[in-house]
Amino acid sequence: MAMLYNRYLTGHYGFCPRALCDKQRALPHGLSDKLRTSRVKIICPKCDEVYIPPSKPRLDGAFFGTSVAEMFFLSYPKVIVLPPKVYNYEP
């Protein structure tokens, strides 16, 4: 987990593409624990959405599994961020 934490802090896994998340660092996430089912995706802890990473990694999603992000947040609760503010449009 310490290596994952260091890579998270440096932004190694990428950033959330959503504009309201303000370049929030993302974590790797697998959609399945079975091999050759899907490639690795990234999950944003701020909006809690799963995205396709901008660079196409050759890693299988099962390498990280479906629970690595949840275990990361249990180990490091200080990196949990609040969801983005809701901006209401006023004409």
* pLDDT tens digits, one per residue of 34-82: 998 888 999 998 888 999 988 776 788 888 889 998 899 899 988 877 7
Domain coordinates in residue numbering, the chain: 2-79
DSSP single-letter state for residue 74: H
- Of the pLDDT bands very low, low, confident and very high (cuts 50, 70, 90), residue 87 is low
- Residue 41 and residue 49 in contact, taking contact as beta carbons nearer than 8 Å: no
| pLDDT, tens digit (0-9, with 9 covering 90-100), for 14-35 | 999 988 888 899 999 999 899 9
Distance, CA of 51 to CA of 14 (rounded, Å): 10
Q: Please tell me the CATH code under which domain 2-79 is placed.
A: 2.20.25.20
d(CA 56, CA 67): 21
Say which amino acid occupies 8.
Y
| Residue 84, pLDDT score | 60
Q: What does pTM read for this prediction? A: 0.79
Q: What is the structure's pLDDT at 50?
A: 93
CB 25 within 8 A of CB 10: no
